[in-house]
Amino acid sequence: MNAIANNAVTLDRQGGVLVASVNNPPVNALSHAVRAGLVGAIDALEDDPSAQALVICCEGRTFIAGADLREFGAPMKSPLLGEVIARLDACAKPVIAAMHGTALGGGFEIALACSYRIAVRDARFGLPEVKLGLLPGSGGIVRLPRLIGVEAALAMISEGNQIGAQEALDKGLLDQIADGDLKAASIAFVRQIVESAKGVRRTSELPVPSFDPAHLSAKRTELARKFKGMNAPQIAVDLIEMMTTTPFAEAAEKEYAACKALIASPQSRALRHLFSAEREALKIEGIPADIAPRPVNHVAVVGPGTMGRGITTCFLMADLPVILVGRSDASLSKAQIAIAAMLDGNVKRGAISQTERDRKLAMLMLSTDYNGLGAVDLVVEAVSENIDTKKQVFRALEEALRPDAIIATNTSFLDIEELASSVSRPENVVGMHFFNPANIMKLLENVRGSRSAPDALATITALGKRLGKLPVMVGRSEGFVANRMLSKRTREAQFLLEEGATPWQVDKVLTGFGFPIGPFALADLAGMDIMAAARAARFARMTPREQRCNIVDKLVAAGRLGQKSGAGYYRYDAEGKRSPDPQVEQILADHGAEAGIVQRQITDEEILERCLYAMVNEAARILEEGAAARPGDIDVIWANGFGFPRHLGGPMFYAQEAGLPHVLEALEKYAGMVGEDYFKPAALITRLVSEGRGFYG
């Protein structure tokens, strides 16, 4: 039978059991058609005296995965999700949720409103709305604690974490795990329910289990630290506290009202923007979606230093055999020990078992030459940032590799065109710029050369996803996108020190904005000698003022190398705790006098605007040049590479929310203060303002 005139939900009958099958690819999102189809299935159950129960299951790879984001921002059509939930809760006959894949968000709330829940063993469950600046609005907050307890429910709701089937069964969320055919197991399960006359079991009628009220206060503090600046996690605690003492119907109304308010909030708009931008970033501009990537089954990494070790670990974690090439057995032996330690860290975190760790480490081969690379599909070059050294490696690799093997450079700022020109097959040359630590950081800046083959670009995007990274394709540009923009923030931070700001004032402003660490604390962490070397490499391309702004060099000359020497911009105690240092203030005062700069009191507002708008202005130039395909790509890079606060959407979204006319006005003001060389507004910003548009229209 199919009593529903709806392609998204079909209804079949197995004796007295109705089976509603949702089929709304790719993730069975709760579109209007799905919602209407589920209501139709409930109608059929209630209108048919011979129908005893209803099973809700899904076709495809997953159970209902949540709301259809395409419907956000437009008037919602009835039935709304809350109406579907209310019908399930009020149904006089048992309804069973049969789940596979993931049951998330609104899909999970559908399951919570059912009488019983059954799932396959590898299914997962969660309420991830908080990651979009939202919270459950259709009963997740008022039902989940009644099933698994306040503490466990609060962890899932406030952090958006998922749990697996066994944990769900142990906590009382699931009634059964199906090890065989899910649909058959669900029908058998519901028949037992009918035969035993257990009937309907409404979650809404369950009592709230007892809990320690002190847990809520402790959780607030934890969430404030973990999700700095984000509103939704704190509101989650408020709602959980409310539901423990409020009648169910009233609590459900308050939950819905809170969710509705959050949908319109700036933070949720920003987070939803990033969610969409991260998916859009996987599309390579100008490359058809049907271009097949080349197979990658065996890889190599050249350079056993810090980056090479991290990259090698990434490949091993993705079950890719790796040949690590170095200049000496000693350097390779040190690298192998470090890689083993990284894998050990994954064991401690529960990401892999000890057996898996041993198997993965066994996939690593060490070599001091290129002779064994004939079977390699892709090699990542991660040697020192010297163009001549890299060219030598490229030429040696081309002689050793198959004609279709890809050579990827991990350079963070060198010209990929010059590197590609050093070999006879430039179509195989691409960039894969991993961020340090490579085995942890999610961002991967993939770089296209002008002659990079389309399938080579498709390959590194697919490989990035396989590695668990967020790959973003960028174009030729010194520093690409992330480091090119960072260099402008670094420049302004240094200039601000010359003009009278202190390192701790600048750091406080930027961490107060939402960055996880300030630029000067970060410099101390990296090492002042490393910063000085990077400055020396770029010295010839600097402006005269940048060349004269040699604060880093003076700190190194004073033996202040950062945390490792106990002093850098800050002073560090034996436990590594940093504190402001009057000696640095004196160094800065002497530097200002030497440079002929009259130091002054600088406001926090000026610090924030100069650091952020210098980056935004450079990003606009990056877009003008085509070094980034979309403003959203830049937001993705900064949110995932340098900790730009996600709830502010990334630098381009933040600038648009602030208003491009305001940004333009600020750029013109600082161009007068600091110089046209540093703040002349990008042509794109000027044009967009004149047209009354923003980066996103």
In whole angstroms, what is the distance from residue 381 CA to residue 361 CA?
20
CA distance 450 to 430: 10
Please report where in the chains the tokens 């969710």 appear, as a residue.
259
Q: State how far the Cα of 660 lies from the Cα of 667, in Å rounded to an integer.
A: 10
Q: Which amino acid is at 220?
A: R
Name the active-site residue from 433, 591, 647, 662.
433
Verify whether residue 298 is a known catalytic residue.
Answer: no
**Distant-in-sequence contacts of 22-25, Cβ < 8 A, 24+ apart:** 22/56, 22/57, 22/58, 22/59, 22/64, 23/58, 23/59, 23/60, 25/60
Which residue's entry shows tokens 């410099």?
523
Peptide bond into 26 cis (omega under 30): yes
**Number of Cβ within a 10 Å radius of residue 497:** 25
9-14 vs 116-120, strand pairing mode = unpaired
DSSP code per residue over 73-123? TSPPPSSPHHHHHHHHHH-SS-EEEEE-SEEEHHHHHHHHHSSEEEEETT-
* Distance (Å, whole) CA 631 – CA 202: 47
Per DSSP, what are the bridge partners of residue 553? none
Phi–psi pair at 571, nearest 5 degrees: -105, 145
Q: Compute the distance between CA of residue 399 and CA of residue 658 in angstroms, rounded to an integer.
A: 53
Contact residues for 294 (Cβ-Cβ < 8 A; gap 6+):
377, 404, 406, 455, 456, 458, 459
* 3-class state of residue 429 by DSSP: strand
- Sign of the Cα torsion 542, 547, 551, 556 reads positive
| Residue pair 539/547 in contact by the 8 Å Cβ criterion | yes
User: Is 479:413 a contact under the CB 8 Å cutoff?
Assistant: yes
Under 8 Å CB-to-CB from 313, ≥6 apart: which residues?
339, 342, 343, 438, 439
C-alpha to C-alpha distance for 251 and 204, rounded to whole angstroms = 11
C-alpha span between 357 and 360 (Å, rounded): 5
- Three-class SS string for 631-687? HHHHHHHHHHHCCCCHHHCCHHHHHHHHCHHHHHHHHHHHHHHHCHHHHCCCHHHHH
Residues 6+ apart with CB under 8 A from 635: 273, 274, 277, 644, 649, 650, 651, 652, 653
* Pair type for strands 95-99 and 102-104: unpaired
Query: Can you tell me which residue has the tokens 């000698």?
Result: 529
Other beta carbons within 10 angstroms of residue 303's beta carbon come to: 25
| 506 close to 496: Cβ distance less than 8 angstroms | yes
Dist CA 95 CA 88 (whole Å): 7
Task: Return the structure tokens found at 109.
Answer: 């709330």
Q: Strand, coil or helix: what is 577? A: coil
Q: How far apart are CA 618 and CA 625, in angstroms?
A: 11
| Cα–Cα nearest to 551, from 496, 483, 603 | 496
Query: What residues are labeled active site?
Result: 433
